[in-house]
Amino acid sequence: MRGSGPREYAEALDLLAGRPLVVLTGAGLSTDSGIPDYRGPGSPNRDRTPMNVAEFRSGPAAQQRYWARSHLGWTRMGHAEPNAGHRALARIDPDLLITQNVDGLHERAGTRRVVALHGRISDVICLSCAAVTPRTRLQARMAEANPGYANRHADLVARPDGDVDLDDTATFVVPGCESCDGPLKPDVVFFGENVPAARVAHCYEAVESLAANDGAMLVAGSSLTVMSGLRFVRRAAEHDVPIVIVNRGETRGDPLATYKVDAGCSELLSDLADLRA
């Protein structure tokens, strides 16, 4: 791995400028949109693990706790807009963009080929009948069932997975599925759940195709702490695909990187978009 001084920064851009690209993004890309990350330097979320799927499925009390917090977090996250990094990636137009984020900002910025590895928080699925409905509709139903709840907790800040830190959840009313009144879950991959196999296979195929086409892999804003994203970096390394990582702080993929740029994402991505224009 080469360092991230001015010369290495320029060399990393040069490596990426004319090649097919697969890009993997994480929470660090959305910090400039006002959505905090998990593991960036100084992040208050570094030691926090979100609710896992077993806890969520354990019954109404856990689901009430989750939805009360998520209702408030969505209210804050729903106002987030794509930042310069998202817009630059839309201009770069990679062969595939794999995002670990659930905020939907890549799609809103206009990127065409996106795999939302962990799903999108904008959809809700029923655990009984599997009906999928828009999150905006559930938000309206929760607001109607819990008048004044959001105003009473207006000072809370959204966390990366779209919830807030709140213990006062016992009175929150959680609406059921509109079709069968079953329990609702955001259509995202919780901790303890597996990413759908077909989704993973599609990403592996895109990474492996880089080897035959003189391509490169770019990781932007991910610490690669969880295997969900790290596996694609490992697959790229196994196929001798050059890897550039831009992230504030260390990542688990650093030993595999051709270049590691210790910086925010928006500047490098904007420079890369200009080079590829």
Rg of the chain in Å (alpha carbons): 19
Determine the structural domain holding residue 64 and report its residue range: 6-276
180 assigned binding-site residue? yes
**Distance of alpha carbon 231 from alpha carbon 260, whole angstroms:** 17
Whether 68 maps to a domain, the answer reads yes
Reduced to 3 states, what is the DSSP secondary structure of residue 110?
coil
Question: How far is the CA of 80 from the CAs of 141, 222, 272, in angstroms?
Answer: 21, 19, 24
Q: From first to last of its 277 residues, what are the pLDDT tens digits of the chain?
A: 676 688 889 999 999 999 999 999 999 999 998 887 655 444 444 445 678 999 999 999 999 999 998 888 876 666 789 999 999 999 999 999 999 998 899 999 999 999 999 998 889 999 999 999 999 999 999 999 999 887 887 666 656 555 666 777 889 999 999 999 999 999 999 988 999 999 999 999 999 999 999 999 999 999 999 999 999 999 999 999 999 999 999 999 999 999 999 988 999 999 999 999 8
Residue type present at position 28:
G
265 assigned binding-site residue? no
**Distance of alpha carbon 77 from alpha carbon 99, whole angstroms:** 17
Look at the block and give the residue holding tokens 């990474």: 207
pLDDT of residue 85: 97
Residue type present at position 274:
D
Structural domain tally of the chain? Answer: 1
Identified catalytic residue from 106, 118, 153, 202: 118
pLDDT of residue 45: 43
Whether 109 maps to a domain, the answer reads yes
pLDDT of residue 220: 98
Reduced to 3 states, what is the DSSP secondary structure of residue 141?
helix
Structure tokens at 215: 């391509």
Whether 51 maps to a domain, the answer reads yes
Whether 1 maps to a domain, the answer reads no
177 assigned binding-site residue? yes
Annotated active-site residue 71? The verdict is no
Whether 70 maps to a domain, the answer reads yes
**Distance of alpha carbon 91 from alpha carbon 272, whole angstroms:** 9
**Distance of alpha carbon 3 from alpha carbon 271, whole angstroms:** 18
Do 119 and 187 form a contact (C-beta atoms < 8 A)?
A: yes
129 assigned binding-site residue? yes
* Exposure on the CB side of residue 246, measured as CA atoms within 13 A: 25
Whether 210 maps to a domain, the answer reads yes
Whether 184 maps to a domain, the answer reads yes
Whether 214 maps to a domain, the answer reads yes
Sign of CA dihedral 30, 34, 35, 39: positive
Q: What is the CATH number of the domain that holds 199?
A: 3.40.50.1220
